[in-house]
Chain A
Amino acid sequence: MLSVTGLKKQYGQFRAVDDVSFELHPGDIMGFIGSNGAGKTTTIKMLATLLEPTHGSASLDGVPLDPNQIEVRKQIGYMPDFFGLYEDIRVWEYLDMFASLYGVPHSERQTVIGEVLELTDLTFKRDAMAQSLSRGMQQRLCLARCLVHDPKLLLLDEPASGLDPRARAELKKLITQLGEMGKIVIVSSHILPELADFSTVVGIIEKGQMLAFGKVEDVVRGLEVQKMISVHVLDRANEASMFLHGKEHVTETNLVGSEQLRFGFTGTPQDQAELLRAMVSAGFQVMEYREETANLEDVFMKVTKGALN
C-alpha cells in the first residue's frame, strides 16, 4: 500500500506542494490531474525519491520513500515527463543496463528483458538502436525500463504527451494491464478523457493542494456536478429551446445545431420524465432525450479555478 501523509514541498516562501495526503492499494490506477505548475511533477518526484519533502512523508508497504533509502527504490518505477535515451545503445542493452543498476541477477536478465519487451510490444525492436525508435516506441521503451525490476509502484509523469492516437490507445491498454498485474500506478496527464478510461482513482491538484481524491464515480457524485440533458428533435430545435427556457429546474439551454440542444437540469428523475412528457405534449418530435454523465473534465472544471501555482 502507498501511504502519503501531509506531503509538502516549499521553496522559500513558495509552496509547490501543500499538505497532500492519500492512500493507494495494489491494482489502483490513479489519474493525477492538474494544470501546468499545479504540483503534479513535484509530488511525483517526491514519491520517486528524487526530491526531499519539506514536511510530511510517504511510505510503500511501510517503508519510507526517502531519498536516503536506497533499497526502496527497487520497488519504484519512475518515468519522467521529459526523458532521453542514450545515443549509442541498443534496446536490449538499455534495458540490460538498468536491470544491472537495479540489481537484477545476470542469469535472469535476458528472461526479464524478453518479458518486458513482450509486454511493451517491442520484441521486434530488440536489437534496434534506442534513438532510432519512434516517439511512441521510445515511450514504451522507457516504460519497459521502469518495469525491468518488477516494481510495486509505477510513477508515470505525462506518459502520453506527444503520442499519436494509436500510440495513446496502446499505452492505455498497457497501463490497464499493469493495474491488473497488481501494481500501484500513478499517471499524470492533461488529457482528461484518456485518464477517465483507465483510472480507478482520481486525484485533482491545484496550487499544490489536493482538491479532490477518490474513486472516479465517488468524486463525480460527491461534487454534485449539474446534470446536463441532451435532446435531439426532428425539427424546431430553436423553438424547443425557447420552450425549455424558464421551465422549473432548467438552468441553461444551449442550441448545439438545428436539431439538437443541451440544457442543465437540477430536478429529480421524476421531474426529468415530466419535462419530456411536456415537450412531447407540446408537439416536439423528440428523437432522443438522455442525461449526459459528468466526466472527469466536468469535475476538473468545477473543482479547479484554473489558478497556477
Chain B
Amino acid sequence: MSRLKDQFLNSPVLYDLRRGIQKASPRNWQPIQAVVIVLVALGLMLLAYSFFVNVSLVDATVPTAVILPILTLVIPTILHATFAGEWQARSLNSLMVAPLTTQQLVVAKVLRALLPFVLITALLILVTFGAQGIQELMQFNRAIEEPVRTWRDVLILAPMAVLASLTYTLMLVGVTALVSSYCKTTSAALLGTLGVLIIGLLILPIVVGVFEGNSQILAIAHPFGQLPTLLASLDDTGFQSFVPFRETWMSFFGTWLVWAVIGCGALVATHARMSNLRQSGIED
C-alpha cells in the first residue's frame, strides 16, 4: 500500500501540484491572485444572478461562456511562474539536476493547472445539472410546462462543455508554460502570456475577420465564437433538431480540436526548450 502511495500520491511528478494546493491557502495569496479571485467571484455572482433571474437560461453553454474567461485569467496567474519563477529565484539548476526526465519536469509543472480546471469544471457540472434538476422540480410542481432541455440534451451538452473547458485549458497551459520557459522573471512571463493571449484571442481574429470579411473564420478562430452559433442552432424542440446541423457540429469540434493541438504543440515546444536548456546549461 505504501509502495502504491509512493508511486502515485507521493510521486515526484505531483510535487508541484502538492505545493500548489499548499499555496492555495488564503494566507499565501499574492495581490495578483487576490485580484483574480475577486474576478472569479464576480463571474460566479453573474452566473448566480442569471440562474435566479431566469433558470431556463442555465444550460451547459452558459456556464461554459462564463468559465472560459475565468480560465483565461486563472491559468496564466497560476502557471506564469512555472519556469520563470525558478529562474528568477535561481532555483532552476537545483531542479534540473533532480532525477526527473524533462517530460516529467514539464508535466510536474503544468499539473498545477489541474486544480483550477477540476474546481471550475466541477462548478460547471454542478450549475448545469443543478439548473436542470430545478427545472424538472418546477415542472413536477407545475410551475413551468416543461424544462427547456431534456436530460438527454443536458447529458450530451455537459460533456461538450467539459471538452471545451479541457481543450481551452490545455491551450492556456501550453502557451503559459512555453512563454514562462523563455522568461527569466515572473513579471515578464505574465505580461508575455497575457500579450500572446490578447493577440491570439482578440487582435488576430479581428484582423482576420476584417481582411477576410467572413464571420465564419472569426467564429472558428475564437474560442467563444462557437457558443452563440451553438445556441442559435438549438431550437425549442431540443437536441433532436440540432443533430442535422452537421456543419455546426464540425466547426464546434474543429475549433476545440485546434485549441487542443495548439496546447499540445506548445507543451512539446516547452519540452524542447527545457531539453535544450538541460544540454546547453542555464545561465545564472
A binding-site residues for B, Cβ under 8 Å: 42, 45, 48-52, 67, 70-71, 73-74, 76, 78, 80-89, 93, 97-98, 100-103, 105-107, 142, 145
Q: List 6 A-B contacts (CB under 8 A).
A: A70-B100, A71-B99, A84-B91, A85-B89, A100-B10, A102-B99
Provide the main secondary structure of the chain A interface. loop
A sample of 17 more A-B contacts (CB under 8 A), given A73-B97, A89-B19, A103-B12, is A50-B278, A50-B281, A67-B278, A84-B89, A84-B91, A86-B89, A87-B89, A88-B23, A88-B28, A93-B22, A100-B15, A101-B15, A101-B98, A105-B2, A105-B6, A106-B6, A107-B2
CA of A102 to CA of B99, assembled, Å: 6
Contact A82/B98 with A52-B279, A105-B6, A106-B5 known, Cβ cut-off 8 Å: no
User: Which residues of chain A come closer than 8 Å to B98, judged between CB atoms?
Assistant: 73, 98, 101-102
Chain B: minimal CB distance from A198 (Å): 24
Q: Mark B269-284, 1 if CB is under 8 A from A, else 0.
A: 0000000001111101
A20 to B28, alpha carbons, bound, how many Å? 47
> Nearest Cβ distance between residue A155 and chain B, in whole angstroms?
9
How many whole Å from A130's CB to the nearest CB in chain B? 10
Could you tell me the distance in whole angstroms from the C-beta of A237 to the nearest C-beta in chain B?
49
Given A51-B281, A97-B19, A107-B2, verify A78-B99 contact (CB < 8 Å).
Answer: no
B17 CB, nearest partner CB in chain A, Å = 11
Q: For the complex formed, measure the closest distance between the CB of B283 and the CB atoms of chain A, giving whole angstroms.
A: 10
B215 located at the interface, meaning its Cβ lies under 8 Å from any Cβ of chain A in the complex: no
Contact across chains for B6 and A83 when beta carbons are under 8 A apart: no
| A101 CA to B14 CA, complexed, in Å | 9
Nearest chain A residue, comparing its CB with the CB of B16: A97
| Interface band, chain B | 20 to 34
Q: Is the CB of A101 within 8 A of B99?
A: yes
The interface bits of chain B over 96-112 (1 if a CB of A lies within 8 angstroms of the residue's CB, else 0) are 11111100000000000
Once bound together, how far apart are the Cα atoms of A48 and B282, in whole Å? 13
If A88-B23, A88-B28 touch, whether A51 touches B89 (CB-CB below 8 Å) is: no
Partner of B94, one of A51, A78, A87, A89: A78
> Are A50 and B6 within 8 A (Cβ)?
no
Q: Are B99 and A80 in contact (CB under 8 A)?
A: no
B241 on interface, CB distance cutoff 8 Å: no
B22 contacts across to A, CB distance below 8 A: 93
Q: Chain A residues near B100: list those with CB within 8 A.
A: 70, 101
Residue of B nearest to A70 (CB): B99
Contacting pair A80 B90 (CB below 8 A) = yes
Chain B 1-25, CB-CB to A under 8 Å as 1, else 0, gives 0100110001010010001001100
Q: Give Cα A87–Cα B5 distance, bound, in whole angstroms.
A: 28
Instruction: Select one of A45, A88, A97 contacting B15, CB under 8 A.
Output: A97
> Of all chain A residues, which has the CB nearest B93?
A80
Complex CA distance for A105 and B9, rounded to whole angstroms: 11
B279 contacts A73, CB within 8 Å? no
Q: Report the minimal beta-carbon distance from A128 to chain B, rounded to whole angstroms.
A: 16
